A and B are shown apart, each in its own frame.
Chain A
Amino acid sequence: MISFLQQNAFWIITIVKIALLLFIVLTVNAYLTWFERKVVAHIQSRWGPHRVGPHGLLQPAADGLKFLFKEDPTPAGVDRFVYYLAPFLALMLSLTALAVIPFGPDPINVFGQKIYLWITNPDIGLLVLFAITALSVYGIALAGWASNSKYSLLGGLRSSAQMISYELALTMSVVGVLLMANTFSLQGIIEQQSNAKWGVGILGWNVLAWTRQGLMWPQIFGFICFFTSAIAETNRAPFDLPEAESELVAGFHTEYASFKFAMFFIAEYTAMITVSCLATILFFGGWLSPFPATSVWTFTHYIPSITLIPFGLWVIYDGIRYETIFGKLVLPAVGFAMFAIGAALLAGAWIAPLHTVNEFIQPVFWFTAKILVFLFFYVWARGTLPRLRYDQLMNVGWKVLLPVSIANVIVTAAIVLWRSHA
């Protein structure tokens, strides 16, 4: 038994990693819906979900149960194979994109096996993500067509036309980063951003681009093009005309009910997460801390614990004063857990095993923090900006974002060439 495990260790570790990643991402998806509803509600001066569980935290579970128990009708006259294929395709492609995203630099050593914090790290990782983005147009186009309904067809066609238009700007805006990194692999791109002058932290990130060879062209314009195209690519507000309720009923997923609609929903939120991961990796240094990596700055390694401790205390305080008994029990427990973890990490300054845990937590903490910032931007844009009309949308994609990203490529290429000669 042990020898079987040891011989096939690679496959078993990979399968366990995949299962763990899927579990984590689906849970993050569920709580992302909670986060979005709460934030949009507070932007609109109302409360959002606050009844199901303390602060509405069990709302995603209630939604999930609802999706499982709702009736799932199939409209008449649909092309059955394509109708069932479309949401499956959308979901499968969204989840596959997470296989190439690296979550941390150093491997964990368990039983003598090195376990890296990614599922795979191909040399062409970024191209794999673009390939999946290119294929995810099919989920929407086929959903719109298979529904045997005019509204769905129009919504599907509009949405896919929007997606393929913004794919161009998306890929072009990343080429500046590739010129500086010389590799397509995502882990290599983060490595390149860590080779900054004097271990410079935040300045070495591609957004500000002060690398070892000198100040390169800051990729801030590339980042703006990338993020805008990504919002359009995932069909989120303000680019969500094809699925807007007041315009085309619900666009391409009008005829999909309960679980198939949930599949589209999960696919969309997973795409949001993937895009946020990509934005942090390409432009904001991935798992690198904003503080330099020199010895003077090692006190910044305790920032995760210093943020967890007051947050845990605040959750305890809020839980004690909560209305329902369930909230009075659960919230202080959660808050105490956060406080305990924060205190344990802080104690790493004096206790050696906790110190290694603290060092290990660093890259994961910064990566997660940056992803949360981008997810907040997504939700903020949804709550604040008005929807773009379809012709305005296509104009922005072709006439504004594409020329800006091409100009970014040209300027970056010129400066990289100049720096490598000088």
Chain B
Amino acid sequence: MVPTHYYLVLSAVLFGLGAVAFVFKRNIITIFMSIELMLNAVNLAFVAFSQAFGKVEGQVFVLFVIVVAAAEAAVGLGIIILIQRNRQSLNIEKVNLLKL
């Protein structure tokens, strides 16, 4: 059997990598994908705990996270298409109208 710690460490590392990509990348779509990576890391933690405690609620919650991520991806990509149409660029530094 694989100890639960191993899964949780993997989840933490994936989350960290997602956070790094979120902060350092310039392309909006890549930033969005790093959000999906962070959500996946959290899903892994949920399923690991579900197996550790022997209860199935963790897996039910993973289904909800996947559904919410799908809805968020749909709307977010719609917004990205609009940004590309208005700014003609997918660089996040061009989306700075609210900057002081």
A touches B (Cβ under 8 A): no
Q: Which residues of B contact A (CB under 8 A)?
A: none
Q: Which residues of A contact B (CB under 8 A)?
A: none
